[in-house]
Chains A and B, each alone.
Chain A
Amino acid sequence: MDKKIVVPGDLLTLEKKKLGQNTFLENDKVYSSVIGLVTENTEYISVIALNGPYLPVVGDAILGIVKSEIVNGYFLDYHSPGEIYLPKSTLSKELKIGSVIFAKIRNITESDSIELENVNVLPQGYIFNTSPVKVPRLIGKNDSMLNLFKQYTESSIVIGKNGWVWFVSKKPQLLEKAMSLVVNNSQKSNLTNTIKEYLEKNTK
């Protein structure tokens, strides 16, 4: 399949296709709104962005970091324009500033407030920060990339859809480097094999 990178304002197609993500319609023609890879099927034409902010979606599993506390709850950062309020009543233990939680978005209210469920408090570890658009690449098809990371760097890894990755590792620098490589080369083909070779080379 021929991969094509487009930039904002590039004409995508003159055919009558439905607008997928990161596209817009002007004068009856479909254009890309971001820098990314064009992808289309019979119905839709979309652009997979190569960078961009996180926009919360119900059902997403995300990581949040506690940034402040009030009497009845905590405010969390979640790598997005906005913050999440987490009531203490939903938690079984106390959190501190800097605590990391992993939870699912149960609901987004009309006023754009986010309600979480299945909140898990993660133990102390490292956070790797990247754009949410890179998350599918870090996970890989059927978790192929994620399993490579766990196997070669002996790590526990939790990836949030909002572009944050929590990890505890016996080889933290190698893991961080490998994740950076995926993030900087996400548009290339055959990436899983290339990363596997890199990890093998650096584990000897």
Chain B
Amino acid sequence: MNERIDGRKNDELRPIKIKLGVVKSADGSCYLEWGKNIVVATVHGPRPIFPKHLADAERSVIDYRYRMAPFSVTDRKSPVPAKRDKEISLVSGNALESVILIEKFPNTVINIDAMILSADAGTRVAALTAATLACADAGLPMRGLVSAVSAGRANGNHILDLTKEEEDAEDAVDTAVAVLMPQKEIVLLQMDGFVEKEEWKKIINMGIVGSEKIYDLQKKALLEKYPIDGDINE
């Protein structure tokens, strides 16, 4: 049994910290630390969509932007969105589109921005986890919360929540799983690597179980923002 580089158990998450409402000019926002990852997600909208030809008379359009700050990684990343950023933005936006009740806001756009300030693997799932909370913080009606986590294989182990070193292992398999809770519907699924069918099922299940832990943390953060008792929150 190989121990993980940072000493975690195979199904153990890195430490996560969540704070809501940090960007006052946004309709909703979330600051999230996940291991060495730092992400800030903001929501603006629903608001009028420009140019008008992009408007949909039956629903709101979700504009999800996943971007990494140039200083978020060791080798400076250009702020110009790469193909990777555009793909992550597309699939993450699709995930939230199936969750937010967009039919309630025709002819509008909902701008969701997820900015990675510090990156150490698992940024897209950290971003989506934070973006969901930003949407809930903004009061957007949703079917549930999207809880996301990475699962896979490294150094012979099937593991949850890979770090950069584990992603770069020779036998690495890295899956991003995002689940709509409480319905347990998969809304995002991406994979890097080669794996046998049975192993793949095991990894997906690990991801679903892991996202349940994320869901608990998300709920806790939302409820913490609105304590019923206690002193006035200045």
Interface residues of A (CB under 8 A from B): 3, 5, 7-11, 22, 24, 26, 31, 33-35, 49-53, 55, 81-83, 112, 131, 133, 181, 184-185, 187-189, 194, 198
CA distance A131 to B232 in the complex (A): 19
Least distance between A96 CB and chain B CB atoms (Å): 22
CA distance A33 to B218 in the complex (A): 15
Select from chain A the residue with minimum beta-carbon distance to B230.
Answer: A188
B47 on the A face (CB < 8 A): yes
> Which of B108, B141, B233 is within 8 Å of A185, CB to CB?
B233
| B145 & A188 in contact (Cβ 8 Å cutoff) | no
Encoded as 1 (CB less than 8 Å from any A CB) or 0, chain B from 99 to 122 comes to 001001111100000000000000
Contacts of B181 in A (CB 8 A): 9
| B101 & A33 in contact (Cβ 8 Å cutoff) | yes
| A9 & B143 in contact (Cβ 8 Å cutoff) | yes
Give how many A-B residue pairs fall within 8 Å (CB-CB).
Answer: 101
| B226 & A50 in contact (Cβ 8 Å cutoff) | yes
| A9 & B183 in contact (Cβ 8 Å cutoff) | yes
Q: Given A24-B101, A185-B232, A187-B226, does the pair A33, B143 have CB atoms closer than 8 Å?
A: yes
- The contact sample of 28 A-B pairs, CB cut-off 8 A, is A5-B226, A5-B228, A7-B218, A8-B143, A8-B145, A9-B142, A9-B145, A9-B181, A9-B182, A24-B101, A33-B143, A34-B136, A34-B139, A35-B139, A50-B226, A51-B27, A51-B28, A52-B141, A53-B45, A81-B45, A81-B105, A81-B107, A81-B108, A82-B107, A184-B232, A184-B234, A188-B232, A189-B228
| A34 & B141 in contact (Cβ 8 Å cutoff) | yes
- How many residues of chain B have a CB within 8 Å of chain A? 39
B219 on the A face (CB < 8 A): yes
> Which of A53, A83, A198 is within 8 Å of B139, CB to CB?
A53
Closest 5 CB pairs of A and B: A9-B144, A52-B139, A51-B139, A33-B141, A8-B142
B209 on the A face (CB < 8 A): no
Encoded as 1 (CB less than 8 Å from any A CB) or 0, chain B from 213 to 231 comes to 0000011001100111110
> Which of B48, B104, B139, B180 is within 8 Å of A82, CB to CB?
B48
> Which of A26, A133, A188, A194 is within 8 Å of B183, CB to CB?
A26
CA distance A53 to B135 in the complex (A): 12
Contacts of A181 in B (CB 8 A): 232, 234
CA distance A55 to B60 in the complex (A): 14
| B48 & A83 in contact (Cβ 8 Å cutoff) | yes
| A35 & B222 in contact (Cβ 8 Å cutoff) | yes
Contacts of A33 in B (CB 8 A): 101, 141-143
| A7 & B222 in contact (Cβ 8 Å cutoff) | yes
Contacts of B47 in A (CB 8 A): 81
> Which of A3, A81, A187, A189 is within 8 Å of B48, CB to CB?
A81
B207 on the A face (CB < 8 A): no
Contacts of A185 in B (CB 8 A): 232-233
B137 on the A face (CB < 8 A): yes
B148 on the A face (CB < 8 A): no
Chain B residues 38-96 with CB under 8 Å of chain A are 45-48, 60
Least distance between A179 CB and chain B CB atoms (Å): 13
> Which of B48, B108, B142, B183 is within 8 Å of A34, CB to CB?
B142
> Which of B137, B139, B230, B233 is within 8 Å of A133, CB to CB?
B139
| B105 & A194 in contact (Cβ 8 Å cutoff) | no
| A7 & B219 in contact (Cβ 8 Å cutoff) | yes
CA distance A187 to B28 in the complex (A): 18
